[in-house]
Amino acid sequence: MKGAASTSLPNIILIGLMGCGKTTIGKELHRETNLGFTDTDQLIERQTGMHIPQIFKIHGESHFRDLETGILQQLQMAATQSRIISTGGGIIIRPENRLLLKKLGFVVWLHTDVNILYQRISRCTNRPLLQQPNPKAVLEHLMNERHDFYQETAHLTIDTANLHIHEIAFGILESARVFRSRRQ
């Protein structure tokens, strides 16, 4: 599907818990479509000159969530060409972010079982919310807390457990084209 007509695609926004594959799938979608790839966490790090764990430690989670909202507003105002957007796992916590995400484009929730997430990220040291004695319990809590927000925000939910990256990308691209055609 390389070189697919990117003009037929809306912005594709990937949401889901940390470790669900947003960056991996986002980069694959970028390769398949040649659309630009944007990671909201990387934008925040570039704008602040700080890594996400530092922002959490120095300024707290609420400040970080403010930064996420600002990034979404900037992306909406700067939207001239469609792109692939990978978001932080908690971006859907705030109601205004959920609205901004839906206005920004086609939102895809990459849903992944907590046990699989834990296997993927159990050794990561750059996940501020997991720096706890029982990170798996934290993941379970986050999934329970955010599940309805992900569901409310997403135009499409994909359970990534038994799918190959190419199958996921293909499904997203086909669904995004249908989404775009219904909006025109």
Residue list for the binding site for ATP: 19-24, 127
Q: How far from 82 is each of 7, 12, 35, CA to CA, in Å?
A: 7, 8, 7
Return the C-alpha torsion angle 65, 85, 151, 182, nearest 10: 130
- Binding-site positions read 19-24, 41, 65, 89, 127, 146
37 by DSSP, 3-state: which? Answer: strand
CA dist., res. 150 & res. 134, Å (int): 23
- Binding-site positions for Mg(2+) read 23
**CB 168, CB 160: distance < 8 Å:** yes
CA dist., res. 42 & res. 45, Å (int): 5
